[in-house]
Amino acid sequence: MKISRRTTAVAIAGATAFALVATGCSSTPGGTDPNEKITLTVATFNDFGYTDELLAEYTELHPNITVKQTKAKTSDDARANYFTKLGAGSGLADVEAVEIDWFAELLQYSDKLTDLSSSDVDGRWLEWKSNAATDADGRLIAYGTDIGPQAICYRSDLFEAAGLPTDRAEVATLLTGDWDHYFDIGQQFVAKSDAAWYDSVGSIMQGKLNQEVETLESTDGEIIAGDNAVVSAAYNDILAQSPQLSAHLGQWSEDWYAAFSNGAYATMLCPSWMLGIIEGNAPEVKGWDIADVYPNGGGNWGGSYLTVPAQGAHPEAAKEFAAWLTAPEQQLKAFIKTGNFPSQVALQEAPELLEVTRPFFNEAPVGEIMAGRAAAVPADAPFKGVKYFPVMKALQDSLTRVDVDKTQSAEDSWAQFLKDIDALK
Amino acid sequence: MTQSLERDVEVSRTAPGSSGGGPAEERAIRRIAFGHRLSRWDVKISPYLYISPFFILFGITGLFPLIYTGVVSLYDWHIIGGQGDFVGLANFEWVLGQEKFWIALRNTFSIFIFSAVPQVILALIIAAILDQNLKAKTFWRMGVLVPYVVAPVAVALIFSNMFGDQYGLINNLLGRIGLDPVGWHSQVVPSHLAIATMVNFRWTGYNALIFLAAMQAIPRDYYEAAAIDGASRIRQFFSITIPSLRPTLIFVIITSTIGGLQIFDEPRMYDSTGEGGASAQWMTITMYIYNQGFGASGGGQFGHAAAAAWLLFLVIVIVGLINLVATRAIASNESRSSK
C-alpha cells in the first residue's frame, strides 16, 4: 500500500515535472502572470504532518495553485534523491525537505538553492535554527519546520512491575540528573525486571553527542571523531553498561520497530518526532507515557528544513508556499498530527500549543512537556559540518557491531571505526 | 524506410513508359540506374537499419554510460559539485585499497554460490516433476512462476521480517523446537543464506519453466527405448534428460552468473538502512558502488563509485571468460559423446 502510493506519487511528480517544463517553455520571458495556473510540488520524508487537507487549504487561498506532495520513506532516501537531482540540475520538487544532519553537506552548494531571506520571515525561527540555515554569504537558504527537543518516554507498566514510580512527575524527579544517574536507575530497574532499560545504544550516543558543540568534526571542518575525548568517552561509557541496560536493538531495524509493542525495554530517549513513531508502531499497547526530564539537561535531536532548489520553474511561488507551510499556524497543525515540535518562536509558548495532549501517552500534556524540553535545549547548537552524516553513520555502525551484532569487542570495533573514518577523509 | 520503397516503385512505374525518345531515354536510364542503386542499397543496408533501433538504444543506455563511467572514474567527481580535478588512476587505487571493497567482493561471490547452485538443482527437480503427466498441468506450471511475479522489493520486505534476529518468525520457530536463535542479520554466513533464499524464491520457478520447455523438446522415443531396455526413471533422468539439457543449462548458468554478480535489490532491502550491515556483512559490490555514490556512508564520491563500477565490469568479464571456457569444454564433450 505504502509503496504503491509512493509510486503513484512519483508518477504524478514526474507528470507534473513534464507539465512544468511544457508550461515553462510556453510562457513569455519577463511577463509572469500572477494568476497563471501552476502546480507546486513538495517533497518530504517520514511524516512532516502536511496532510492533504492542509495542502488543499493553500489551493483555497491561491486558486491558481495546485499542490502535490511526494513522501520518501526515510531521510536517507530523500538525501540520495536530493543530491542526485541537484547535481543533475533537474527533477527536484519545487519545495524540498532536508534534515539537519545532512544539511551542511548541502550548504556547500547553496548557490544551487534559492535565497529565501525576506523581511516577512525575519525572526520567525529560534536563532540557532535559522543560523544553521544561513550560508557563508549570509543568505537564508532554508525555512525551519520542526526541531527535536528530547524528553524520556517510558513504559509505566514495566516501571510498576519493577517497583519504580509510574506518575510522570515522579518519574521526572527520579530521572533528574546526569547520564550516570540515568544508567544507575537503569541498573536498579534491570535487577528487578526481565526487560532492558533502553532500546538502542545508537540513540544514547545521539543523545549524548547532541549536547556537545564539537564532536565528530572540528568547527574548521576536520574530522576529529577519532581523537576527540568527548566521543571516545561517550563510546566507552555507553558500552561499559550496555550488556545489562541495552535491549540490543539496532535503531530503525525490523526488530526495533517490533519492540515498541512487546515491552523489550522500559525507557527511550524521545525527541518530539518519536511520539508519532511510537504511537504508529504500538497502537494497541497501553502503558507508554512521557516524562518532562532528560539526562544532563536538555538536548535536540534532528529536525528539518524546507528548501527551494533554484532549478524549479516557479521559485517565487515556491518560496511563498514554503513560507506559508512553515508559518506558525501550519506548523501547529503538523505538531498536533505527528508531534513534530515547531521551530517557530511564536509557538514556543503559545497557549494553543501548550494545551495539546496525546491520549495514547496516558493523556500526557505533550505540548507543555515538549515546550519545556525545547526551552532546555542548550543555546550552543552542536556543530554539524560537511562530513557529519557519514562519520555519524560509521560511529553508529561501530556501536552496532558491539551491542547488536556482538561480532566485535569494543576495542576492535573502535579500531574498525578509525579505519572507516580514514576512508572518509 | 517506406519512403525509399515508394520511390523505388515510382521509378519502376515510370521506366517502361519513357523508353521512347533520345534525351528522355538517357534520363530514364540514369533514373533506372539510380533505382537499381537504391534497391541495391536497400538490400545491403536495410537489414542493418532494421536492427539498428536496438543498437542505437544500446548505445544510448548501455555503451554511453559505460564509457562515461570510465571518464568519471578518472576524475575527482562529487554528486552535487560535479567534475573536479583529473586524478588519473587514483580512484582505482583508492578503491582497491579499501577493505570494504574486498569484503563486498567476497559477499557477492558467496551469495552467488548460495543462490545459483541450489537454484539450478531445485529448478531441475521441479521441471522434471512438471514434465510428468500431472493433472491440471497449466495450474502447476503457472504456480511455480508466481514468486517471479512478486516485486523483489515486496519479497525483501517479507523475508527481512521473517529473518528478524530477535523477533523474526524463523527464529521464533527455531526457539520452539529448542534451538538457539540464528543471527540472520548479525552473522556473515546466515545473512548470505537469508538473502540467497530470497533470490531462490524469486528465480527458481522461472528457471524451472525454462528447463521444462527444454525437456519437452526431448524426443519421447529416447525414454521409450530406455524404458524397454529396463532403465529406471532416475537412470533416465541422469542419462537422457540431463545430457539433452546441456545448452539450456549453459544458458541458465550464464544468465544467473551475470544476475548474481549484480545482485542489489534483495540485499539493499534486507534492512532499513540498506547499507549492508554494520560490518558490511552482506554488502555486495553493486551496493558498495551505490553507497560510494549516493549512500549515507560514502559522501557522494562519484569518482570512487565509477572506479568500483569498472572493477565490477572487469570481474564480470573475467567470470564470463571462465564461463566461456567451461562452456566450450562441455560442448566438445557433447560432440564427442554424440559420435
- Name the pTM for this structure: 0.82
Q: How much is the pLDDT for A143?
A: 95
Structural domain total, chain B: 2
Torsion of CA B277, B282, B287, B289, to 10 degrees: 90
Query: Which of A86, A109, A255 is closest, CB to CB, to B166?
Result: A255
Which pLDDT belongs to residue A25? 41
Give the separation between CA A165 and CA B108, rounded to whole angstroms. Answer: 52
For chain A, what is the mean pLDDT? 88
Region of A365 please: left (phi>0), alpha (psi -120 to 50) or beta: beta
Per the model's pLDDT, the better-predicted residue between B20 and A248 turns out to be A248
Q: With contact defined as beta carbons under 8 Å apart, do A378 and A298 qualify?
A: yes
Residue B84 near chain A (CB below 8 Å)? no
Lowest-confidence segment of A197-201, B19-23, B215-219, B319-323 by average pLDDT: B19-23
The pLDDT-based confidence of B28 (bands split at 50, 70, 90) is: low
pLDDT of residue A14 exceeding 50: no
CA distance A93 to A418: 38
CB atoms within 10 A of CB A87: 17
pLDDT at A31: 42
Are B173 and B289 within one domain? yes
User: Is residue A19 predicted with pLDDT exceeding 60?
Assistant: no
Amino acid at A386: V
Kindly state whether residues B49 and B159 are assigned to the same domain. no
SS3 content of chain A, % helix, strand, coil (to 5): 50, 15, 35
Identify whether B167 is part of a domain. yes
Mean pLDDT of A247-255: 90
Containing domain of residue B27, as a range? 2-72
So what's the pLDDT on residue B335?
53
Q: Which residues are within 8 A (CB) of A56 and not within 5 positions of it... i.e. 6 or more apart?
A: A67
- What pLDDT score does B294 carry? 87
* Per-residue pLDDT at A10 exceeds 50: no
| Pick among A106, A255, A389 to test the B interface (most B CBs inside 10 A) | A255
* Cα B217 to chain centroid, rounded: 24
* pLDDT computed for residue A272 by the predictor: 93
Encode pLDDT of B123-174 as tens digits: 999 999 998 888 888 899 889 989 988 888 888 888 888 998 888 999 999 9
Query: Does A247 or A31 have the greater pLDDT score?
Result: A247
Task: Quickly state the pLDDT bin for B329 (edges 50, 70, 90).
Answer: confident
What is the pLDDT confidence band of residue B5, given thresholds at 50, 70 and 90?
very low
Q: Distance (Å) from the C-alpha of residue A250 to the closest C-alpha of chain B?
A: 10
The per-residue pLDDT for range B70-115, each reduced to its tens digit, is 999 999 998 888 889 999 999 999 999 999 999 999 999 999 999 9
Least reliable range by pLDDT among B9-23, B116-130, B174-188: B9-23
Element at A177 (helix H, strand E): none
Beta-carbon neighbour count of residue A424 at 10 Å?
Answer: 16
On whether both B96 and B59 belong to a single domain, the answer is: no
Query: Per the CB < 8 Å rule, is B166 touching A259?
Result: yes
Write down the pLDDT at residue B338.
Answer: 46
* The pLDDT of residue B85: 92
Same domain flag for B51 and B137: no
pLDDT of B331 reads 62
Output the pLDDT for position B20: 45
Domain of B314, CATH number, reads: 1.10.3720.10
**Between chain A and chain B, how many beta carbons pairs sit less than 8 Å apart?**
105
> Quick one: pLDDT at residue A32?
56
Question: How far, in Å, CA of A242 to CA of A398, rounded?
Answer: 14
The distance of A398 to chain B (nearest Cα, Å) reads 7
pLDDT recorded at residue B37: 84
Residue A17: what pLDDT? Answer: 43
In a shared domain, residues B122 and B271: yes
Among residues A60, A65, A24, the alpha carbon closest in space to that of A42 is found at A65
CA distance A64 to B19: 70
At B176, is the pLDDT very low, low, confident or very high (cuts 50, 70, 90)? very high
Per-residue confidence at A104, pLDDT binned at 50, 70, 90? confident
Read off the pLDDT band of A315 (50, 70, 90).
Answer: very high
Do residues B196 and B332 share a domain? yes
Distances (CA, A) of B282 to A201, A218, B200, B258: 22, 33, 16, 18
Residues B160, B34 share a domain: no
The reply to whether B47 touches chain A by the CB within 8 Å rule is no
Please, which pLDDT band fits residue B18 given cuts at 50, 70 and 90? very low
In the three-class reduction of DSSP (H, G, I as helix; E, B as strand; rest coil), residue A142 is classed as strand
Do the domain assignments include residue B20? yes
- Grid cell 487561498 — which residue? A61
Residue A272: C-alpha distances to residues A300, A370, A373, B179 (Å): 9, 7, 9, 40
Contact criterion met (CB below 8 Å) for A251 and A199: yes
Interchain pair A84, B272: CB under 8 A: no
Q: Nearest residue on chain B to A105, judged by CA atoms? A: B299
The pLDDT of residue A8 is above 70: no
pLDDT at B273: 82
pLDDT tens sequence across A358-379: 999 999 999 999 999 999 998 8
- Specify if B130 maps to a domain: yes
Chain A residue with minimal CA distance to B95?
A: A423
- The whole-angstrom separation of Cα B93 and Cα B90 is 5
Residue B304 lies in a domain: yes
B160 and B62 in a single domain? The answer is no
**What are A216's three cell numbers?**
565528530
DSSP annotation of A345 reads: G
Mean pLDDT of A145-162: 95
* Beta-carbon separation of A106 and B79 below 8 A: no
pLDDT of residue B11 exceeding 50: no
Task: Look at residue A27 and tell me whether its pLDDT is greater than 60.
Answer: no
Domain annotation covers residue B82:
no
> What pLDDT is stored for residue A22 in this prediction?
40
Please write the tens of the pLDDT for every residue from B225-242.
999 999 998 899 988 998
Please check whether residues B167 and B117 belong to one and the same domain.
yes
Per-residue pLDDT tens digits for B258-288: 888 889 989 998 888 888 999 999 999 999 9
Mean pLDDT of A51-71: 93
The structural domains of chain A, ordered by start, are 2-147+302-353 (3.40.190.10), 148-298+381-422 (3.40.190.10)
Residues B181 and B225 in one domain: yes
Select the residue of B80, B99, B281 nearest A419 (Cβ to Cβ): B99
Beta bridge partners of A65: A38
What percent of chain B shows pLDDT beyond 70? 88
| B9 has a pLDDT exceeding 70 | no
**CA separation, residue A415 to residues A144, A412, B190 (Å):** 37, 5, 25
* Ramachandran category for residue A115: left, alpha or beta (phi over 0 → left; psi -120 to 50 → alpha): beta
CA B305 to CA B281: how far, in whole Å?
19
Q: What is the pLDDT of residues A218-243, one digit of tens each?
A: 988 899 999 999 999 999 999 999 99
Residue B78 in domain: no
Quote the pLDDT of residue A29.
39
| Higher-scoring residue by pLDDT: B5, A92 | A92
pLDDT beyond 90 at B218: yes
Please check the confidence at residue A7 and state whether its pLDDT lies above 50. Answer: no
In three-state secondary structure terms, A196 is: strand
Among B38, B72, B106, the domain boundary falls at: B72
Identify the sign of the CA torsion A355, A358, A363, A366: negative
Overall average pLDDT of the A150-159 stretch: 95
Both B34 and B136 in one domain: the answer is no
So what's the pLDDT on residue B153?
Answer: 82
What pLDDT, on the 0 to 100 scale, is given for residue B6?
A: 44
Of the candidates A307, A305, A324, A325, the one whose C-alpha atom is nearest the C-alpha of residue A315 is A307
Q: Is B298 found in the same domain as B178?
A: yes
- The answer to the question of residue B8 being in a domain is yes
Smallest Cβ–Cβ distance between B296 and the set A393, A405, A420 belongs to: A393
Beta carbons within 8 Å of A116's beta carbon, 6+ residues apart: A139, A140, A141, A142, A143, A307, A308, A319, A322, A323
- Is B271 in CB contact (< 8 Å) with chain A? yes
By Cβ distance, the residue of A87, A102, A405 closest to B186 is A405
Helix (H) or strand (E) holding A152: strand A142-155
Identify the domain boundary among B72, B105, B134.
B72
A264 CB neighbours in chain B (<8 A) are 166
B136 touches chain A (CB under 8 A): no
Give the residue from B12, B39, B72 where a domain finishes.
B72
Reduce the DSSP state of residue A162 to 3 states and report it.
coil
In a domain, B30, yes or no: yes
